[in-house]
């Protein structure tokens, strides 16, 4: 049968509004506003994207909205950039060699907090070196890359405020091992503004760090053309609660600041662009994250054209699954979240991907967790064949409309930052920190009210005894290390005002990274701002569960059709806070209520049933406890009059599906005279 002869004249035409209404009714999906102030509809139509002219582009089109082009599609793989986070240099090397033999294709390491701030390991606190490598000397570089074929394996290291010490060590390492430095590729990059925002301080002034940025980029452009030296990262903002629009705008503003500073120092736009890596965190909001990455490519094309309308730049996008969404309890669900986030990264067009091991929220991850994360890449590459599809999200009216909304709002916020002096000025004024803090407060409220779900935390939480059986990390103990410090006298062959080239020459003479930074700091003043507040969505629930350990709640279902559903609401709420719950069903008299409360000693009780039946039985039941302190909750709508009436009868509170769990439980613990710090 020829399709062009088909006729559907016997079917009446259904208006779009009716379709949308039917979808809302049958799927419980209704229109809602996101944290980015984007209004999402339950159903999208072709008309929602008809005005977007750029959708006619091919994947290799000038804006690269639909990916970097045919070559990346034909190759069909992204870089498996699993960052090794062990504090021991030698153990990191062993794990890297093992990973490279088993599917990983990038030499990637987490740089410790100490290294990112320019400290040597012997000067740092235990917390600052507990996770990630601290590369302080040329010897550390030699141990880290022992038996690694650097000509075949790309690097990935975010060195924090400056990459000059590590690049100096790498240059000396290549000379010592007769290796052509031009063969290095990957990213050994610095992100001074991201580090300043994350930690609140950097050891040098931002002006000096921009000198380092330009020096490293010039060095790479002349000697290591395939090495990227500039990292523009949204991760510090993401991990402090920023939404997708804020992440995009801050990335654009930071990227523009770095380009401007490099151009001021004599580099051209075409020398800077190939040496930039853009690093994103990707959360579990699948379609939003796909749209975020797609939006960034087009936004960056607009930025580049603003510098030079003939310039074309394909941004190299590195993604990491979100640390913010990980939980310490029921940790295996972290692996599920990371899989969704990894999928979103690849569909969105990431060139490089790091999947957080499921136990990384505790400290350095286990080898099994690293293997599971690495194999997630391999399954996505070799079993799902997702990389064989060009622009998988292309043409989706929902994704395309979402992408356009993100682009529009992010460009507006970016313009506002530029109008007020740029990213550095916005950080120094505290505007960025205030915006992110406001968003974090909103997100925290949604988590506490369980509007935003974290499976295994806010919903379907494990019992306390089950949670305690999770894999526990071995506490890190910092070794006492005495480093041979390179004295100032040893540098007498150089002038007192050492140049960046001088430090590169000194790298082979035993200097440490910390020594270099201290010498540089003698001629400058460190910069500081109000730091971003790091945040993890599950943190308050994890803390409250410490206080509720071995506590229980008694749930009473009355003989009423609504009681079962209300009991599920109560059980879910209190179990998310760590209480054990015991339920009795089919209660139909106030005597049964009183007797059960007397026999079963729980910290609190919940009565579930219709408002009328609760009203009838509760008043008489509570007369049995006039001399005792008992804490009772009712499940229902929080009408002010009803709430006041029940509270007069001894009810602690009226709970419902959107009750703020943390506030509710803190109030109960306070009544139980438990001192709470959450």
pLDDT in tens, 63-81: 666 666 555 554 558 999 9
pLDDT bracket for residue 358 (50, 70, 90): very high
Q: For 425-469, what is each residue's pLDDT tens digit? A: 999 999 999 999 999 999 999 999 999 999 999 999 887 655 444
- Residue 489 is predicted with a pLDDT of 46
- Residue 472 is predicted with a pLDDT of 46
Tell me which fold the domain 65-449 belongs to.
TIM Barrel (3.20.20)
Q: In the structure encoding, which two tokens stand for residue 283, read together?
A: 């959360």
- Comparison of pLDDT for 616 and 318, the residue scoring more: 318
pLDDT bracket for residue 42 (50, 70, 90): confident
- Residue 648 is predicted with a pLDDT of 58
Instruction: Give the other-Cβ count within 10 Å of 125's Cβ.
Output: 11
Instruction: Give the other-Cβ count within 10 Å of 98's Cβ.
Output: 15
Q: Give the global pTM.
A: 0.92
Distances (CA, A) of 400 to 49, 51, 319, 387, 392: 7, 11, 21, 20, 12
All residues at 6 or more sequence positions from 163 whose CB lies less than 8 Å from its CB, including other chains: 188, 189, 190, 212, 216, 229
| Residues of the chain above pLDDT 90, percent | 65
pLDDT bracket for residue 388 (50, 70, 90): confident
Mean pLDDT across 631-647: 70
Q: Nearest Cα to 571, choosing from 544, 552, 598, 550?
A: 552
Domain boundaries, the chain: 65-449, 539-672
Cα gap 303→635, rounded to integer Å:
53
C-alpha torsion angle, residues 363, 366, 367, 370 (rounded to 10): -60
- Comparison of pLDDT for 554 and 600, the residue scoring more: 554
- Residue 473 is predicted with a pLDDT of 47
- Given a cut of 60, whether residue 387 has pLDDT beyond it is yes
**CATH-assigned architecture of domain 539-672:** 3-Layer(aba) Sandwich (3.40)
Distances (CA, A) of 594 to 15, 361, 621, 622, 636: 57, 45, 5, 8, 21
The region, left, alpha or beta by phi > 0 then psi within -120 to 50, assigned to residue 673 is: left
Judged by DSSP in three states, 106 sits in coil
Angle between helices 590-599 and 611-622 (to 10 degrees): 60
- Given a cut of 80, whether residue 233 has pLDDT beyond it is yes
Residue 328 half-sphere exposure, CB side, CA atoms within 13 Å? Answer: 17
- Given a cut of 80, whether residue 199 has pLDDT beyond it is yes
Cα of 389 vs its chain's centroid, Å: 26
Q: Nearest Cα to 36, choosing from 343, 411, 344?
A: 411
Mean pLDDT across 584-596: 91
- Given a cut of 60, whether residue 639 has pLDDT beyond it is no
Place of tokens 């209004």: 39
All residues at 6 or more sequence positions from 63 whose CB lies less than 8 Å from its CB, including other chains: 54, 57, 297, 298, 301
C-alpha torsion angle, residues 372, 378, 384, 385 (rounded to 10): 160
- Residue 54 is predicted with a pLDDT of 79
Cα gap 110→159, rounded to integer Å:
9
- Comparison of pLDDT for 118 and 424, the residue scoring more: 424
- Comparison of pLDDT for 578 and 59, the residue scoring more: 578
Distances (CA, A) of 136 to 39, 413, 499: 49, 39, 19
Q: Which of 124-128, 389-393, 499-503 has the lowest mean pLDDT?
A: 389-393
Cα gap 278→288, rounded to integer Å:
18
Q: Which of 491-505, 519-533, 608-622 has the lowest mean pLDDT?
A: 491-505
R_g (Cα) of the chain, nearest Å: 29
- Given a cut of 80, whether residue 26 has pLDDT beyond it is no
Q: Is the dihedral of CA 343, 348, 349, 354 positive or negative?
A: negative
Q: Which of 91-105, 115-129, 212-226, 638-652 has the lowest mean pLDDT?
A: 638-652
Alpha helices in 53-101 (DSSP H): 70-75, 89-101
């Amino acid at each position: 049968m020829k399709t062009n002869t088909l006729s559907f004249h016997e079917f009446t035409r259904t208006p779009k509004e009716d379709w949308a209404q039917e979808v809302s009714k049958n799927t419980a999906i209704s229109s809602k506003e996101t944290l980015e102030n984007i209004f999402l509809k339950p159903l999208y139509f072709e008309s929602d994207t008809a005005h977007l002219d750029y959708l006619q582009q091919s994947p290799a089109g000038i804006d690269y909205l639909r990916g970097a082009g045919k070559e990346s599609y034909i190759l069909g793989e992204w870089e498996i950039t699993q960052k090794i986070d062990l504090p021991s240099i030698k153990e990191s090397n062993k794990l890297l060699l093992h990973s490279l033999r088993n599917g990983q294709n990038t030499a990637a390491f987490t740089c410790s907090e100490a290294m990112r701030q320019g400290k040597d390991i012997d000067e740092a606190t235990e917390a600052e070196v507990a996770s990630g490598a601290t590369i302080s000397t040329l010897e550390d570089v030699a141990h880290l890359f022992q038996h690694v074929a650097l000509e075949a394996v790309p690097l990935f290291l975010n060195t924090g405020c400056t990459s000059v010490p590590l690049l100096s060590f790498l240059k000396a390492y290549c000379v010592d091992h007769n290796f052509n430095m031009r063969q290095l590729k990957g990213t050994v990059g610095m992100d001074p503004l991201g580090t300043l925002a994350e930690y609140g301080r950097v050891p040098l002034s931002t002006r000096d760090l921009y000198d380092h940025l330009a020096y490293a980029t010039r060095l790479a452009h002349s000697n290591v053309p395939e090495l990227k030296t500039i990292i523009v990262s949204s991760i510090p903002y993401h991990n402090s609660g920023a939404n997708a629009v804020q992440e995009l705008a801050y990335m654009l503003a930071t990227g523009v600041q770095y380009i401007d500073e490099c151009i001021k120092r004599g580099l051209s736009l075409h020398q800077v662009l190939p040496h930039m890596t853009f690093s994103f965190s990707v959360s579990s909001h699948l379609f939003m994250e796909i749209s975020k990455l797609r939006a960034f490519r087009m936004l960056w094309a607009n930025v580049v054209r603003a510098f030079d309308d003939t310039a074309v730049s394909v941004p190299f996008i590195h993604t990491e699954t979100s640390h913010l969404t990980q939980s310490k309890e029921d940790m295996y669900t972290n692996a599920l979240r990371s899989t969704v986030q990894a999928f979103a990264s690849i569909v969105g067009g990431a060139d490089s991907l790091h999947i957080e091991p499921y136990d990384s929220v505790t400290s350095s991850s286990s080898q099994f967790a690293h293997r599971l994360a690495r194999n997630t890449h391999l399954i996505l590459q070799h079993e799902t064949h997702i990389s064989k599809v060009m622009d998988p999200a292309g043409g989706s009216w929902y994704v395309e409309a979402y992408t356009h909304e993100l682009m529009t709002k992010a460009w507006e916020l970016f313009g506002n930052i530029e109008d007020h002096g740029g990213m550095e000025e916005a950080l120094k004024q505290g505007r960025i920190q205030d915006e992110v803090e406001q968003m974090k407060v909103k997100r925290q409220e949604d988590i506490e009210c369980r509007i935003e779900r974290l499976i295994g935390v806010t919903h379907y939480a494990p019992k306390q005894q089950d949670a305690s059986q999770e894999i526990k990390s071995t506490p890190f103990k910092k070794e006492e290390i005495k480093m041979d410090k390179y004295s100032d006298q040893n540098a007498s062959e150089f002038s007192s005002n050492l140049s960046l080239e001088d430090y590169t020459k000194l790298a082979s003479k035993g200097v440490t990274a910390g020594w270099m930074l201290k010498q540089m700091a003698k001629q400058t003043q460190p910069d500081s701002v109000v730091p971003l507040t790091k945040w993890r969505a599950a943190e308050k629930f994890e803390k409250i569960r410490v206080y509720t350990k071995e506590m229980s709640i008694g749930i009473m279902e009355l003989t009423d059709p609504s009681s079962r559903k209300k009991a599920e609401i109560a059980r879910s709420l209190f179990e998310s806070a760590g209480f054990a719950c015991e339920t009795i069903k089919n209660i139909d008299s106030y005597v049964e209520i009183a007797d059960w409360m007397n026999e079963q000693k729980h910290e609190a009780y919940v009565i579930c049933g219709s408002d009328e039946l609760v009203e009838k039985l509760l008043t008489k039941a509570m007369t049995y406890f006039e001399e005792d302190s008992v804490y009772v909750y009712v499940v229902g709508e929080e009408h002010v009059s009803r709430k006041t009436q029940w509270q007069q009868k001894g009810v602690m509170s009226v709970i419902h599906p959107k009750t703020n769990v943390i506030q509710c439980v803190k109030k109960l613990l306070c009544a139980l005279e438990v001192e709470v710090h959450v």
